[in-house]
Chains A and B, each alone.
Chain A
Amino acid sequence: MKIAIPVANTEGLNASLADSFGRADYFAIVELDDTSIEFIANPARQEGSGAGIKAVQTVANAKVKSVVVPRLGMKAIQALKDANISSLEFTGTTLQSAIDAFRAGQLKDFPPEGCGNKH
Chain B
Amino acid sequence: MKIAILSGKGGAGKTTVATNLALSLPGVQLLDADVEEPNAHLFLNPHFGNYLEPVTRNVPQIDPKKCILCGRCVEFCEFNALALLGNRVIVYPEACHSCGGCKEVCNVNAISGVERQVGVLRRDQDISGIEFWQGELSVGEESSIPVIRALLKKINRRKIAIIDAPPGTACSAVEVASDSDFCLLVAEPTPFGLHDLQMTVDVIEQLEKPWGIVINRSDSKGDQALEDYAKNKRIPIFLKIPFERSIAEFYAQGIPFVEKDPSWKHRFQKMIKQILAYCGET
Mask, B55-93, CB within 8 Å of A = 1, is 000000000000000000010011111011110001010
Is the C-beta of B142 less than 8 angstroms from some C-beta in chain A? yes
Sample (30) of A-B pairs whose CB atoms are under 8 Å apart = A47-B80, A48-B78, A49-B79, A49-B80, A50-B80, A50-B81, A50-B92, A50-B95, A53-B80, A53-B81, A53-B83, A53-B92, A54-B83, A56-B83, A57-B74, A57-B83, A60-B83, A60-B85, A60-B86, A74-B140, A75-B95, A79-B83, A79-B85, A82-B83, A82-B86, A82-B90, A83-B83, A83-B85, A83-B86, A84-B85
Q: Is the CB of B92 within 8 A of A75?
A: yes
Residues of A within 8 A of B (CB): 44, 47-51, 53-54, 56-57, 60, 74-75, 78-79, 82-84
How many angstroms from the CA of A71 to the CA of B140 in the assembled complex? Answer: 18
A44→B80 CA distance, assembly (Å): 9
- Report the bound CA distance from A79 to B89 in whole Å: 11
Inside 8 A of B94's CB, which chain A residues have their CB? Answer: 75
A-side binding surface: helix, strand, loop or mixed? helix
- Interface of chain B: mostly helix, strand, loop or mixed: loop
Min CB gap A49→B, angstroms: 5
Docked pose: A83 CA to B74 CA in angstroms: 14
Pick the 10 closest A-B CB pairs, nearest first: A50-B80, A83-B85, A50-B95, A54-B80, A53-B80, A57-B83, A82-B90, A50-B79, A82-B85, A49-B79
Docked complex Cα distance between A4 and B137 (Å): 35
State A51–B78 Cα separation when bound (angstroms).
11
- Residues of chain B with a CB closer than 8 A to A75's CB: 92, 94-95
Q: A48-B79, A49-B80, A50-B80 are in contact. Are A56 and B85 (CB under 8 A)?
A: yes
Contact A57 B84 (CB under 8 A): yes
Cα A51 to Cα B94 with chains together (Å): 13
List B contacts of A53 (CB < 8 A). Answer: 80-81, 83, 92, 95
Give me 14 other A-B pairs in contact (C-beta within 8 A), A78-B92, A79-B83 excluded. A44-B80, A49-B79, A50-B80, A50-B92, A53-B81, A53-B83, A53-B92, A57-B80, A57-B84, A57-B85, A75-B94, A79-B90, A82-B83, A82-B86
